[in-house]
Amino acid sequence: MITRKYLSFFTAIATGVCFVSVSPANSQVPTTAEPGIIMRDLGEERRAPSRLDDAIMFDEDDVAGAEVSTEKVFTLQKIMLDGSTVYNQDAINLLVEGHIGQPVSFADLNTITRNITRLYRDDGYMFSRAILPPQEIKDGIVHLQVIEGQLTEVEVVGDFKDYNNLVQALADKIRSVGPTNSKQLERYLLLIDDLPGIKARSLLQASETPGGGKLIITVEQEKFEGSVSVDNRGSKFLGRTRGTAVGAFNSLFGVHDRTTLRAILSKDTSELRFFDISHEEQLGTDGVRVKGRFAVTNTEPGSSLDINNVEGDSRLFNLEVLYPILRGRQYNLNLIGGFTAINSESDILGLDISEDRVRYLSAGGRFDFTDTWAGVTQIDLEVAQGVDWFNATDDGLGRTRQNGEHDFIRFNASAIRLQNLPGGFSMLLSAAGQYSPDTLLSSEEFSVGGGQFGRAYDSGEIAGDQGISGLLELRYGGLVSHDYLKAYQLYSYYDLGRVWNDDPAVTENGHASLASAGIGVRFNLKYDVSGYLEVNKPLTRRVSAEGDDDARLFFSLLKRF
């Protein structure tokens, strides 16, 4: 859908960077020009999790109570469930308690049988069913027979690299010893589909084994994915127009690895140069992934800052491990842990004015779910602890912030809610926040401005140790039958943000806030081209790099291949 594609696109790529004027006498570069903040705001592309498009459907049992005698023939005293390993007798008694001690017909017994089958199905045991076998009923006791079915065959077909047999190992986990559960089936089908470049489709068939089923998994593999894009969400000083190129090599070594290269350049390539490489590997057969990332940013701002010969450099290394505790159509929960090192420095007129070496450990989780109100919600939580490792910055002069601490702790939270509404409308609600009891170095501050929050402003317009931001966006759109236009989405939004510094330096504010509003259109075109056009209006403060609060026009065009 257009909404999911643009959600990941806007939050990851369409961010801006800006500078405000400084003089050689300034001891620090403003937050909008700090290389560490630029590095963070340019961010990293994230893949949206796969979802099973359709539920597995079953025909209703060909047994209708109305077609059997409804004459009450005996008083039911007990239902005995033979062959069940999933439910005990207490669970069955609870299900049929309304019939116990009451006169029943054979139609009633068929209804009870269907309810027990439905209980299995609702709990995910898709191949299991209850039947009413021929029997002589004594003392009001009825025996029902349960066939707890399972997948007896799982076959993987397709043309793909699988040197470590990971796809087959995940498929084998679907085939269980006991009765097959849909949660187990969903998890491992989705874990196969999560593998880089893999698209898995499944077909469920009857097996020759009584009570069994056969699953055929067809696997397709994209060996390369990429995109090129252009937008004007840069800044006055780093170049308003910039281009982005992304290339991802899937299973380059045949073990379901993924190597991604990304570059962002301003129109004048000396003003902004950003390069990013990441590599992902799969560990084991339960969805564990480890990813390493290295990124470099170089800036030489132009315009009115050119005379100051301001230069900035930042280098980032990140190692991250992800484990999916829950993986399904409705609920997903990932645990994420990692280590990050950031080196950033700024020069004015050839003089080093600041240098940070930040090291921290992080742990968190990402939870997303769909619900019966036709909405999708994602919640992210993270805690980060600064560590004195690998020549981390010492307290003292020469830091991006005079009283910034290297052994900080910070807490971050964000939430996104995409709610479908009647008549082609939908609504996006998003919020983010950060708390830290410490004074942070610039790369760890909470900033507002850019493509996610504060869209009418440049990236990093305001920043502080603590902050909150929010967005409300109303959308209308759909698919189009046209030679060139395939889908569109009209939208309007309002966003705001506020930051605090509990212990501000002499040159810093204790707090700052902003708000903006705008309208726009997103579109999907022929040949895998997509983009947006957006008009934004700053509401509560001027854009620092521009010196005014005039309306601003932003655009983006992206081609996937």
Q: What is the DSSP string of 369-425?
A: EE-TTSEEEEEEEEEEEE---SSPPPSSSSSSSTT--SS-EEEEEEEEEEEE-GGGE
| 154, two tokens | 């799982």
User: Who contacts 372 (Cβ-Cβ below 8 Å, separation ≥6)?
Assistant: none
Are both 2-54+222-243+258-560 and 150-221 of the same fold?
no
* Per-residue confidence band for 455, with pLDDT thresholds at 50, 70 and 90: very high
Q: Which of 133, 31, 156, 14 is nearest to 81 (CA)?
A: 133
Largest CA distance in the chain: 101
Say how many Å lie between the first and final Cα of the chain, rounded: 18
The mean per-residue pLDDT over the stretch 356-384 comes to 95
**Burial of 37 (C-beta count, 10 Å sphere; 0-12/13-18/19+):** buried
Supply angle C-alpha 473, 331, 51, rounded to 5. Answer: 75
Q: What's the CA gap between 259 and 279, in Å, rounded?
A: 4
The reported pLDDT for the residue numbered 29 is: 52
Domain ranges across the chain = 2-54+222-243+258-560, 73-147, 150-221
The reported pLDDT for the residue numbered 388 is: 93
Q: Which of 438, 473, 425, 479 is nearest to 453 (CA)?
A: 473
* Ramachandran quadrant class, 219 (left: phi over 0; alpha: psi -120 to 50; beta: rest): beta
Of the candidate ranges 44-48, 223-227, 256-260, 362-366, the one whose mean pLDDT is the lowest = 44-48
Helix (H) / strand (E) element for 79: namely: strand 78-82
Q: Note whether 247 and 260 are within 8 A (CB).
A: yes
Q: Which of 303, 296, 243, 239 is nearest to 271 (CA)?
A: 239
The reported pLDDT for the residue numbered 545 is: 86
Q: What's the CA gap between 268 and 242, in Å, rounded?
A: 9
Q: Express each pLDDT in 407-440 by its tens digit.
A: 999 999 999 999 999 999 999 999 999 999 999 9
Q: Express each pLDDT in 234-247 by its tens digit.
A: 888 888 899 999 99
The reported pLDDT for the residue numbered 6 is: 38
pLDDT at 57 over 70: no
The reported pLDDT for the residue numbered 31 is: 57
The reported pLDDT for the residue numbered 304 is: 63
Helix (H) / strand (E) element for 534: namely: strand 529-538
* Per-residue confidence band for 67, with pLDDT thresholds at 50, 70 and 90: low
CA atoms within 13 A on the CB side of 183: 10
* Per-residue confidence band for 351, with pLDDT thresholds at 50, 70 and 90: confident
The reported pLDDT for the residue numbered 350 is: 76
pLDDT at 61 over 80: no
Supply angle C-alpha 141, 146, 151, rounded to 5. Answer: 175
| 324, two tokens | 């999916």
Length of the chain: 561
Alpha helices in 35-151 (DSSP H): 35-42, 89-96, 106-122
Q: What is the mean pLDDT of the chain?
A: 85
The reported pLDDT for the residue numbered 261 is: 97
The CATH code belonging to domain 73-147 is 3.10.20.310
pLDDT at 359 over 70: yes
User: Who contacts 29 (Cβ-Cβ below 8 Å, separation ≥6)?
Assistant: 22, 310, 312, 346, 348, 353, 354, 400
Pick one of 1.10.3720.10, 2.60.40.1180, 2.40.160.50, 1.20.120.1200 as the CATH number of 2-54+222-243+258-560: 2.40.160.50
> Would you identify the CATH topology of the domain 150-221?
Ubiquitin-like (UB roll) (3.10.20)
